[in-house]
Amino acid sequence: MVAIADYGAGNITSVENILRAVGAEYVLAGSPRDFARAAGIILPGVGAFGAAAASLRASGLFGALRAAAADGVPFLGICLGLQLLFESSEESPGAEGLGLIGGRVIRLAAAGKKIPHIGWTSIDIAKRGRILSSVKDGEFFYFVHSYGAQSTERGAVAATADYGGVFDACVERGNIFGCQFHPEKSGAAGRKIIVNFLDMCGGRGAALPNAEKGGAAGSANAGTTGVARSANAGISGAADSANAAAEGRVKNER
Protein backbone atom coordinates (compact mmCIF):
# COMPACT_ATOMS: atom_id res chain seq x y z
CA MET A 1 0.00 0.00 0.00
CA VAL A 2 1.26 3.48 -0.91
CA ALA A 3 0.77 6.34 1.54
CA ILE A 4 -0.04 9.82 0.25
CA ALA A 5 1.09 12.40 2.80
CA ASP A 6 -2.02 14.39 3.70
CA TYR A 7 -0.87 17.55 5.51
CA GLY A 8 -3.14 20.27 4.16
CA ALA A 9 -0.72 21.50 1.50
CA GLY A 10 -0.92 18.79 -1.11
CA ASN A 11 -2.77 18.54 -4.41
CA ILE A 12 -4.05 15.12 -3.42
CA THR A 13 -6.94 14.64 -5.81
CA SER A 14 -4.83 14.42 -8.96
CA VAL A 15 -2.48 11.94 -7.27
CA GLU A 16 -5.44 9.83 -6.19
CA ASN A 17 -6.76 9.89 -9.75
CA ILE A 18 -3.57 8.51 -11.30
CA LEU A 19 -3.25 5.83 -8.61
CA ARG A 20 -6.81 4.74 -9.32
CA ALA A 21 -6.05 4.74 -13.04
CA VAL A 22 -3.19 2.26 -12.62
CA GLY A 23 -5.04 0.10 -10.11
CA ALA A 24 -2.90 0.95 -7.09
CA GLU A 25 -3.87 0.61 -3.44
CA TYR A 26 -3.25 3.70 -1.33
CA VAL A 27 -4.00 5.37 1.98
CA LEU A 28 -4.27 9.04 2.88
CA ALA A 29 -1.72 9.47 5.67
CA GLY A 30 -2.54 12.30 8.05
CA SER A 31 -0.61 11.06 11.08
CA PRO A 32 2.70 9.24 11.63
CA ARG A 33 1.02 5.90 12.39
CA ASP A 34 -0.55 5.91 8.93
CA PHE A 35 2.90 5.20 7.46
CA ALA A 36 3.28 1.98 9.43
CA ARG A 37 2.22 -0.33 6.59
CA ALA A 38 3.33 1.87 3.71
CA ALA A 39 5.33 0.19 0.95
CA GLY A 40 5.99 3.63 -0.52
CA ILE A 41 5.29 7.29 0.19
CA ILE A 42 4.17 10.09 -2.12
CA LEU A 43 4.60 13.67 -0.93
CA PRO A 44 2.57 16.08 -3.09
CA GLY A 45 2.55 19.79 -2.42
CA VAL A 46 1.24 23.21 -3.41
CA GLY A 47 1.80 26.62 -1.84
CA ALA A 48 4.82 28.16 -0.16
CA PHE A 49 7.85 26.16 1.02
CA GLY A 50 7.82 27.55 4.56
CA ALA A 51 4.10 27.06 5.12
CA ALA A 52 4.25 23.48 3.83
CA ALA A 53 7.25 22.64 6.02
CA ALA A 54 5.41 24.10 9.03
CA SER A 55 2.33 22.01 8.20
CA LEU A 56 4.46 18.86 8.07
CA ARG A 57 5.87 19.64 11.50
CA ALA A 58 2.49 20.54 13.00
CA SER A 59 0.97 17.27 11.79
CA GLY A 60 3.89 15.22 13.08
CA LEU A 61 4.66 14.01 9.56
CA PHE A 62 8.02 15.78 9.25
CA GLY A 63 9.90 13.36 11.49
CA ALA A 64 7.89 10.37 10.27
CA LEU A 65 8.81 11.11 6.66
CA ARG A 66 12.50 11.42 7.50
CA ALA A 67 12.39 8.19 9.48
CA ALA A 68 10.67 6.31 6.64
CA ALA A 69 13.20 7.63 4.15
CA ALA A 70 16.05 6.51 6.44
CA ASP A 71 14.44 3.07 6.63
CA GLY A 72 14.64 2.74 2.85
CA VAL A 73 10.95 3.19 2.04
CA PRO A 74 10.57 4.41 -1.57
CA PHE A 75 9.72 8.11 -1.38
CA LEU A 76 8.45 10.33 -4.22
CA GLY A 77 8.10 14.10 -3.91
CA ILE A 78 5.98 15.90 -6.51
CA CYS A 79 6.18 19.64 -7.33
CA LEU A 80 6.54 21.37 -3.94
CA GLY A 81 7.07 17.87 -2.59
CA LEU A 82 10.33 17.72 -4.55
CA GLN A 83 11.38 21.09 -3.15
CA LEU A 84 10.72 19.89 0.39
CA LEU A 85 13.26 17.12 -0.15
CA PHE A 86 15.96 19.82 -0.10
CA GLU A 87 17.48 21.73 2.78
CA SER A 88 16.01 25.18 2.26
CA SER A 89 14.36 27.60 -0.15
CA GLU A 90 14.99 31.27 -0.77
CA GLU A 91 11.20 31.60 -0.93
CA SER A 92 11.05 31.08 2.85
CA PRO A 93 14.29 32.16 4.56
CA GLY A 94 14.88 30.26 7.79
CA ALA A 95 12.50 27.42 6.96
CA GLU A 96 14.08 23.96 6.92
CA GLY A 97 13.20 21.28 4.42
CA LEU A 98 13.52 17.55 4.96
CA GLY A 99 17.18 17.65 3.94
CA LEU A 100 17.04 14.31 2.12
CA ILE A 101 18.87 15.78 -0.89
CA GLY A 102 21.67 18.34 -0.54
CA GLY A 103 21.03 21.77 -2.00
CA ARG A 104 18.44 24.51 -1.96
CA VAL A 105 15.54 25.91 -3.94
CA ILE A 106 15.85 29.26 -5.69
CA ARG A 107 13.54 31.49 -7.73
CA LEU A 108 13.55 30.60 -11.42
CA ALA A 109 15.84 32.76 -13.53
CA ALA A 110 13.27 32.61 -16.35
CA ALA A 111 15.20 35.08 -18.50
CA GLY A 112 12.73 36.65 -20.89
CA LYS A 113 9.88 34.42 -19.67
CA LYS A 114 6.90 34.78 -17.37
CA ILE A 115 6.84 33.51 -13.82
CA PRO A 116 5.26 31.23 -12.78
CA HIS A 117 6.37 28.64 -15.28
CA ILE A 118 3.14 27.04 -16.49
CA GLY A 119 2.99 24.46 -19.24
CA TRP A 120 4.77 21.69 -21.06
CA THR A 121 8.57 21.67 -21.08
CA SER A 122 11.00 18.99 -22.17
CA ILE A 123 13.49 17.41 -19.79
CA ASP A 124 17.14 16.55 -20.41
CA ILE A 125 17.97 13.23 -18.80
CA ALA A 126 21.23 13.41 -16.87
CA LYS A 127 21.35 9.79 -15.75
CA ARG A 128 19.40 6.63 -16.43
CA GLY A 129 18.03 5.61 -13.08
CA ARG A 130 14.91 3.76 -12.03
CA ILE A 131 12.38 6.58 -11.87
CA LEU A 132 12.89 7.57 -15.52
CA SER A 133 13.07 4.02 -16.85
CA SER A 134 11.54 3.88 -20.36
CA VAL A 135 11.11 7.67 -20.44
CA LYS A 136 12.57 9.26 -23.55
CA ASP A 137 15.19 12.00 -23.35
CA GLY A 138 13.48 15.21 -24.42
CA GLU A 139 10.06 14.05 -23.26
CA PHE A 140 7.63 16.82 -22.32
CA PHE A 141 6.05 17.13 -18.87
CA TYR A 142 3.66 19.58 -17.27
CA PHE A 143 5.09 22.18 -14.87
CA VAL A 144 3.49 24.77 -12.58
CA HIS A 145 6.04 26.53 -10.35
CA SER A 146 8.00 29.68 -9.60
CA TYR A 147 11.00 28.13 -7.82
CA GLY A 148 13.39 25.38 -8.82
CA ALA A 149 15.89 23.14 -7.06
CA GLN A 150 19.66 23.42 -7.41
CA SER A 151 21.19 20.29 -5.92
CA THR A 152 24.72 20.25 -4.55
CA GLU A 153 24.66 16.49 -5.14
CA ARG A 154 24.90 16.46 -8.92
CA GLY A 155 24.93 12.67 -8.94
CA ALA A 156 21.39 12.78 -7.56
CA VAL A 157 20.09 14.79 -10.52
CA ALA A 158 18.18 12.52 -12.88
CA ALA A 159 17.02 15.25 -15.27
CA THR A 160 17.11 19.00 -15.77
CA ALA A 161 14.85 21.41 -17.62
CA ASP A 162 15.42 24.85 -19.08
CA TYR A 163 13.01 27.74 -18.62
CA GLY A 164 15.18 30.75 -19.26
CA GLY A 165 17.67 29.04 -16.95
CA VAL A 166 18.39 25.43 -16.02
CA PHE A 167 16.91 23.85 -12.91
CA ASP A 168 16.73 20.30 -11.55
CA ALA A 169 13.53 18.70 -12.86
CA CYS A 170 13.94 15.20 -11.42
CA VAL A 171 16.13 13.73 -8.70
CA GLU A 172 16.99 10.21 -7.62
CA ARG A 173 19.24 9.02 -4.83
CA GLY A 174 18.76 5.56 -3.40
CA ASN A 175 15.12 5.31 -2.35
CA ILE A 176 14.50 9.07 -2.68
CA PHE A 177 12.88 10.43 -5.86
CA GLY A 178 11.40 13.76 -6.83
CA CYS A 179 9.75 15.43 -9.83
CA GLN A 180 9.35 19.18 -10.13
CA PHE A 181 6.80 18.54 -12.87
CA HIS A 182 3.46 16.85 -12.30
CA PRO A 183 3.69 13.25 -13.54
CA GLU A 184 0.03 12.75 -12.62
CA LYS A 185 -0.90 15.51 -15.12
CA SER A 186 1.57 14.55 -17.84
CA GLY A 187 -0.26 11.90 -19.83
CA ALA A 188 1.42 8.65 -20.85
CA ALA A 189 4.94 9.78 -19.97
CA GLY A 190 3.87 10.77 -16.47
CA ARG A 191 2.01 7.51 -16.06
CA LYS A 192 5.28 5.66 -16.77
CA ILE A 193 6.93 7.48 -13.89
CA ILE A 194 4.12 6.62 -11.49
CA VAL A 195 4.25 2.96 -12.55
CA ASN A 196 8.05 2.96 -12.21
CA PHE A 197 7.67 4.23 -8.65
CA LEU A 198 5.01 1.66 -7.79
CA ASP A 199 7.24 -1.09 -9.16
CA MET A 200 9.93 0.03 -6.71
CA CYS A 201 7.47 -0.48 -3.87
CA GLY A 202 8.07 -4.21 -4.22
CA GLY A 203 4.65 -4.90 -5.62
CA ARG A 204 3.06 -4.20 -2.24
CA GLY A 205 1.89 -0.79 -3.37
CA ALA A 206 1.54 -1.51 -7.06
CA ALA A 207 -1.38 -2.96 -9.00
CA LEU A 208 -3.59 -5.23 -6.97
CA PRO A 209 -3.73 -8.90 -8.03
CA ASN A 210 -7.37 -8.61 -9.05
CA ALA A 211 -7.08 -5.18 -10.64
CA GLU A 212 -7.87 -6.43 -14.13
CA LYS A 213 -11.02 -8.05 -12.79
CA GLY A 214 -12.23 -4.84 -11.23
CA GLY A 215 -10.71 -5.26 -7.80
CA ALA A 216 -12.75 -4.09 -4.86
CA ALA A 217 -11.68 -1.14 -2.76
CA GLY A 218 -9.14 -2.00 -0.11
CA SER A 219 -9.61 -1.18 3.53
CA ALA A 220 -7.32 0.51 6.00
CA ASN A 221 -6.19 -0.90 9.31
CA ALA A 222 -8.66 0.03 12.03
CA GLY A 223 -5.86 1.80 13.85
CA THR A 224 -5.14 4.18 11.01
CA THR A 225 -6.86 7.43 10.22
CA GLY A 226 -6.24 7.19 6.51
CA VAL A 227 -8.80 5.70 4.18
CA ALA A 228 -7.30 2.93 2.08
CA ARG A 229 -8.47 2.70 -1.45
CA SER A 230 -7.88 0.64 -4.52
CA ALA A 231 -9.07 1.01 -8.08
CA ASN A 232 -10.15 -1.33 -10.77
CA ALA A 233 -8.04 -1.45 -13.84
CA GLY A 234 -11.05 -0.67 -15.97
CA ILE A 235 -10.22 2.96 -15.35
CA SER A 236 -7.85 3.39 -18.23
CA GLY A 237 -7.53 7.14 -18.45
CA ALA A 238 -4.28 8.58 -17.16
CA ALA A 239 -4.20 12.07 -15.76
CA ASP A 240 -3.61 14.46 -18.66
CA SER A 241 -2.54 18.03 -19.13
CA ALA A 242 -3.64 20.70 -16.69
CA ASN A 243 -6.98 22.28 -17.18
CA ALA A 244 -8.36 25.67 -16.39
CA ALA A 245 -8.86 24.72 -12.77
CA ALA A 246 -5.17 23.96 -12.43
CA GLU A 247 -4.24 27.31 -13.92
CA GLY A 248 -6.70 29.02 -11.61
CA ARG A 249 -4.73 27.65 -8.67
CA VAL A 250 -1.35 28.62 -10.04
CA LYS A 251 -0.89 31.48 -7.62
CA ASN A 252 -0.78 28.87 -4.88
CA GLU A 253 1.53 26.41 -6.61
CA ARG A 254 5.27 26.30 -6.55
Q: 49-59 vs 61-70: helix axis angle to the nearest 10?
A: 90
Is 182 tagged catalytic? yes
Residue 24 carries which DSSP code? Answer: B
Q: Over the Cα atoms of the chain, what is R_g?
A: 17
Is 87 tagged catalytic? no
Phi, psi of 160 (to 5 degrees): -120, 170
Q: How many helices (H) and strands (E) does the chain have?
A: 6, 12
> Which residue of the set 172, 182, 201, 253 is catalytic?
182
The residue type of 122 is S
The residue type of 163 is Y
Closest by Cα among 24, 56, 30, 26 to 38: 26
> Which residue of the set 139, 172, 184, 253 is catalytic?
184
Is 79 tagged catalytic? yes
> Which residue of the set 16, 25, 79, 117 is catalytic?
79
Closest by Cα among 154, 118, 158, 116 to 135: 158
**Could you give the residue numbers annotated as active site?**
79, 182, 184
